[in-house]
Amino acid sequence: MHQLSHLAQVDPEIYQITLAELHRQQSTLEMIASENFTSLAVMEAAGTVLTNKYAEGVPEKRYYGGCETVDKAEQLAIERAKQLFGAYHVNVQAHSGAQANMAAYLAAGLQAGDTIMGMDLSHGGHLTHGSPVNFSGLYFNIVSYGVDAETKRLNYENIRALALANKPKMIICGASAYPRVIDFQAFRAIADEVGAVLLADIAHIAGLVVAGEHPSPFPHCHLVTTTTHKTLRGPRGGILMAADESFAKAIDKATFPGIQGGPLMHVIAAKAVAFKEALSPSFKQYAKQVRLNAQALATALTDAGLQLTTGGTDTHLLVIDLTANNISGKEGQALLEEIGITANKNTIPNDPRSPFVTSGIRLGTPALTTRGFDETAMKTLGGLIASAILNPSQPLAPLRQAVEALGANFPLYPELPAHYGCPVKEAATCV
């Protein structure tokens, strides 16, 4: 029989680690474009007894008994996702975005060796769109498209020509480090011309899409995948959606038994909560602010003399191009870390210093916007970032203090109940 003992008593080591991580999240500025902070309600749902239930299959067609209540949770998640995205059919079981993509490959009816087209990783695409070290690149014949050498934007004439020359069975649109709008309709016209299935992977921009801040992949794309934890601000996970009846059965079969066993019912419940939150008017406001903040940041950085790929952003992220600044993305990432900002080095398209040096830094505004950052705060932050990068030999302590002072205006999880960690005022003394 289990005793009702808390984590702090059962496993003080892991408890201390969660406190330390809470403190790190509260005391640094999170600018990794794929990260966000979920609501307490989402975390609560993910920490429930639903974790105990096996529920292979889909609601009302399960392989085990006792699924009546978890069926209701999954049904809610599905209905809310359909409403949120305007999808015909949704499967909410994928454990991650990469799993959702793997299921999409199966659902599209691809065979090993088939030709698929995806965006080059070094131009902003994702590993699962054909990288040689990923299942996609290992099992399929990959034809990668990149961005235009001049504009650094997608060039649909070039993509069309590549598709006509290679006749892919599937085309993937969507990216992890592309700061501009993706034209799903243009991709569909190309896919139709060569008879390809069109998959949109909106892992990064899902939150913008559901708020009307980026055009929707529906009805243009046959299949749509997304993560639930990036701009969408839910628990870690993925979902796979179909635009119409033709792929509805296929996406369920591809997810289970195709690539997964039992679904994570506690995470599915947390996804349902996140979808409910995303359906609210305040989420629309949030997504709008994410973009306004990204634009304010872009303006502050370019005004200070930094270069951005494509010169700016339409989305939640931007990529600084450091080729003119004599430092690498890796050095830039380390500099920002020293002043209390978490970001990641990133490739830039056609990097003249590649493969010796990575010349980009990717910055995103979703997490800081959740903390309440507005354009004024972003402008200040942009100035601090530009100062660190443009003058890396200056003493960094004053910049670090300025970053800390700015962050203190926007506390993260100030009312967190003790069992999630401890409240912000005491966090520093807990670790």
Ligand X SMILES: *Cc1c(COP(=O)(O)O)cnc(C)c1O
Q: By the criterion CB under 6 A, which residues form the site for ligand X?
A: 34, 96-98, 101, 126, 128, 174-176, 201, 203-204, 227, 238
Whose CA is closest to 316, among 167, 176, 135?
A: 176
**CA-CA distances (angstroms) from residue 88 to 74, 244, 308?**
16, 5, 38
Task: Identify the bridge partners of residue 363 per DSSP, sorted by sequence position.
Answer: 318
**Of 18, 35, 44, 54, which residue is the catalytic one?**
54
Residue 143 CB, shortest distance to ligand X, in Å, is: 18
By beta-carbon proximity to ligand X, the closer residue of 97 and 179 is 97
CB of 180 to ligand X, least distance (A): 14
Distance of CA 113 to the CA centre of its chain: 28
CB atoms within 10 A of CB 430: 16
Told to judge if 201 belongs to the known catalytic residues of this protein, a careful annotator would answer: yes
Nearer to ligand X by C-beta: 97 or 340?
Answer: 97
For 430, half-sphere exposure in the C-beta direction (CA atoms, 13 angstrom radius) is 24
Token readout for 264 is 């994570």
The amino acid that residue 198 corresponds to is L
Give min distance, CB of 402 to ligand X, in A. Answer: 31
56 is catalytic: yes
Residue whose pair of structure tokens reads 């660190």 in the numeric block:
388
- The residue among 100, 364, 115 whose CA lies nearest residue 251 is 100
Task: Give least dist CB 411 to ligand X, A.
Answer: 27
Is it true that the peptide bond before 257 is cis, omega within 30 degrees of 0? yes
Answer for the pair 218, 86: CB distance below 8 angstroms, yes or no. yes
Q: If we measure between CA atoms, which residue out of 122, 130, 132 comes closest to residue 347?
A: 122
Nearer to ligand X, 95 or 330 (CB): 95
User: In which element (H, E) is residue 270 found?
Assistant: helix 265-278
Q: Which residue is nearest to ligand X (CB)?
A: 97
Closest approach, Cβ 94 to ligand X, in A, equals: 8
Active-site annotation holder among 35, 56, 71, 183:
56
Please say which residue, 50 or 98, places its beta carbon nearer to ligand X: 98
Q: Which of 120, 201, 252, 314 is catalytic?
A: 201
> Quick check: is 54 catalytic?
yes
Q: Name the residue nearer to ligand X (CB basis): 25 or 176.
A: 176
What count of other Cβ atoms lies within 10 Å of the Cβ of residue 366?
Answer: 30
Instruction: Tell me how far apart the alpha carbons of residues 26 and 38 are, in angstroms, rounded to a whole number.
Output: 13
Which residue in the list 230, 233, 271, 345 is annotated as catalytic?
Answer: 230
Residue closer to ligand X, measured from CB, 264 or 424? 264
CB of 96 vs ligand X, minimal distance in Å: 3
Is 145 among the catalytic positions? no
Report yes or no: 173 and 200 within 8 Å, Cβ to Cβ: yes
Radius of gyration of the CA atoms of the chain, in A: 22
Half-sphere exposure of 71 (CA within 13 A, CB side): 13
Minimum CB separation of residue 361 from ligand X in Å reads: 17
Residue with smaller CB distance to ligand X, 75 or 96: 96
In this complex, which beta carbon is closest to ligand X, that of residue 130 or of residue 174? 174
Q: How far apart are CA 364 and CA 203, in angstroms?
A: 14
The H or E element containing residue 397 is helix 397-408
Q: How far is the CB of 267 from ligand X (least distance, A)?
A: 12
Contact 349, 376 (CB under 8 A): no
User: Rounded to whole angstroms, how far apart are CA atoms 278 and 133?
Assistant: 34
- Residue of 82, 160, 236, 276 with catalytic role: 236
Which bin fits 176, alpha (ψ -120 to 50), beta or left (φ > 0)?
alpha
- The smaller minimum CB distance to ligand X, of residues 19 and 287, is found at 287
Q: How far is the CB of 204 from ligand X (least distance, A)?
A: 5
Positions annotated as catalytic residues are: 54, 56, 201, 227, 230, 236
